[in-house]
Structure 1
C-alpha cells in the first residue's frame, strides 16, 4: 500500500486487527452469542423398558424408553437447556395415526414422564401424524387423480384432537409440523375450546421438503411408504415471498412463535422472516442431515466437530433465530460451560 492510498483509507490510524488480537476483546465485542437457554433438544421415545437404542444415521442420538427418557430429561435440565421437543414411535401404527391422540399414547406418556423427572424443563410436542400412520404421511389419505394424497381438511380436526391430548398430558407448548393449510387455526380453536387458551403454539411455518430430513426419518421411523411430501411441504426453490405468506397466515390463525426448517441451508429465509416480523419469536430447526453430515466428516477426521457445530449454530443465531432446535444441545451446553 503506498502512502497516498494508506492515508485515504485511514491506515494506520484505523486497524481492524486491534480488536482481534486479544480473546477477551473478541468476546467483549461479540454481537452473537449462544447459550443453553436458547436451545431445544429433540428426543425420540418408544415403548419398552431400559431401551437406549442407537440411531445408526445419527451418531450420539437414541430412541429412548420412558425410563431412559427420564434420565435424559434430568440431564438436560441440569445443563440449563431450555426444553425438549418429543417425537413418538408407537407400538402400533394405523391409517389414522390414532396413537397420536390417545391418552395413553407414547408421546402423552412421555410428556408426563418428563414433567415429573425435570419440572423446570419446557416440554414441547410435535403435532403431526407421520410417526403414527402406517403409510408414513402427515394426515389422512384421499385419492386424487388416481393417486393417494393427504386430505387437508379432514386432517385438521385430528390435529386439534392430538394437540388437546398433548395439552391434557401437561405439554408446555405444541408445535404443529404437518404443513396443512389451516392447521394453526384448527389447533388454536381446539385448544381454546378445551380450556387451554393459555398454551402457546409454535408453528413450523416455513418447512421445506428437504433431503436434509433423511436421518430423522430413520430416527422417527416415519419415512413415507409411497410418494413424497412435496404436495404439502414447501419447494426448496421457492423464494422468500412464499415463506413470508406462510408465516403471515399462521400468525393470523393464532401462532405465538414460528419456525423455519431446515436451518443452515435456509439462512436467507430466517433473515427475511426476522426482518419482516421483528417482534415475533423465531425458531430454526438445525435438522438431522445437518447434524449427521458433520458427524460423518468428524468421524473421518476431516473437520473438528465442536468448532464446526458452534460455527453453524452461531450462523443460525446470527441470521435471526432466537431459538434453535438442535441435536447438539447437550454438547453445546457442556462446551460453553
Structure 2
C-alpha cells in the first residue's frame, strides 16, 4: 500500500507542533461578559436556569466588574432589572435609571473596563415587549424615539458603546443622529443586526425578567429559517452607520456568522446566548460532558465561523483557562 507524499498527521504529532500550525485563536481580548444589574441593595440572586450568573445590586456588580477586569476581559455588557416597570419603559431612559447608575458606578471603580449597554425596552416594560404597544403590536416609529433617548442617557452616564437589540427598523440611524447631535459622535453603536426569534433565549428571560406578557416577538425578530434576510438586515445597519454587527444566537447560526463575515468588513460579534450556556452547564452537571473542553470548543467554533468578539456568560471561566 502506497501513501501519498503528504501525510496530514505529521503536523499533529505533539502539542507544540499543533500550536505552531493552529489556524484559529481564541483570546481573552475576544470576550465580553454580560451582567444583570438589579435595583436595590445587597442583592445577589443566582439565576436558577443559568448557574453561576446572578442578578446583582450595584455594589456586587462593581465587585464583579473588578474581577472581570483583573482577568483581562476588556468589556462587559449591561442589562437592567428596574424597581418598577410601565407601558413605555421609563426607567430605560431615566437619567437615574438602574443602568445609568450602574454605568457611573462601574466607570468610577474600574475606568479602564469598557462598558457596553443593551439598548432595548423589554426589560423595562410591564408587557415585556421591546417597544410601544399600539393595536396589539410594537409600533416601530414611536419606539425609535424612546430607544434614541435611552442610548443618549447611557452615553451621558458614561457608556463606552451602545448596543440596540430591539430589531426596530431604523433604530441605528435614530441613535446615531441623537448621539451626534449631543456631542457623542465618538460613541460606537454595536448593532444586534441579525437577531433571530429564538427559543435559545429562554433562560435570559428569567435573568432579565422580560418574558412577553402576551404574544411573542416574531413580528420584529427574524425567522430562524431565513438566511438571505440576514444580509438585508446587516446592510441596512451598515448604511445607518453601525460600528459593529452582531449575530444572535450563535451556535445554531454559525453559517450566518460566516455569511456576514464574508460580506461586510465591520467587526463581527457573536452572542453566545443563555440557552447555549445553560445546555453546557446542565450536561456538565449530569457528568455527560467535559464542561471546560466543550465550553472552549464551542467558543472556538464561533471564532472559526468568523466572530471577532463573543458575548458569553462563559467569559470568566474561559478567561481563566486562557490565562493559565
TM range (shorter): over 0.9
Does residue 61 of structure 1 match 2:53?
yes
CA distance in 2, matches of 1:311, 1:304: 11
1:179 corresponds to which of 167, 171, 174: 167
The equivalent residue for 2:130 is: 138
Does residue 317 of structure 1 match 2:309?
no
Q: 1:202 Cα shift?
A: 0.6
1:92-131 equivalent positions in 2, closer than 5 A: 92-131=84-123
Does residue 193 of structure 1 match 2:181?
yes
CA distance in 2, matches of 1:321, 1:314: 9
CA distance in 2, matches of 1:275, 1:50: 46
CA distance in 2, matches of 1:157, 1:138: 13
CA distance in 1, matches of 2:104, 2:237: 28
CA deviations over 1:154-178 (Å, ceiling 9, x no partner):
0001110000000000000000000
1:151-190 equivalent positions in 2, closer than 5 A: 151-190=139-178
CA distance in 1, matches of 2:124, 2:39: 13
| Runs of at least 5 residues in structure 1 that lack an aligned partner in the other structure | none
Matched position secondary structure for 1:88: strand
CA distance in 2, matches of 1:210, 1:69: 28
State the superposition RMSD in angstroms.
0.7
CA distance in 2, matches of 1:65, 1:273: 37
CA deviations over 1:290-335 (Å, ceiling 9, x no partner):
0000100000000011000100000000000000000010101101
CA distance in 2, matches of 1:47, 1:96: 18
1:89 corresponds to which of 56, 60, 81: 81
CA distance in 2, matches of 1:162, 1:194: 13
Q: 1:121 Cα shift?
A: 0.7
TM-score, normalisation: structure 2 = 0.99
1:145-294 equivalent positions in 2, closer than 5 A: 148-239=136-227, 241-277=228-264, 279-294=265-280
1:15 corresponds to which of 3, 7, 11: 7
CA distance in 2, matches of 1:27, 1:219: 38
Q: Which has the larger radius of gyration?
A: 1
Superposition misfits of 4+ residues, deviation over 6 angstroms:
none
Number of residue pairs matched? 323
Q: 1:45 Cα shift?
A: 0.5
Q: 1:20 Cα shift?
A: 0.9
Q: 1:114 Cα shift?
A: 1.0
TM-score, normalisation: structure 1 = 0.95
CA deviations over 1:207-254 (Å, ceiling 9, x no partner):
000000000000000000000000000000012x11011000011011
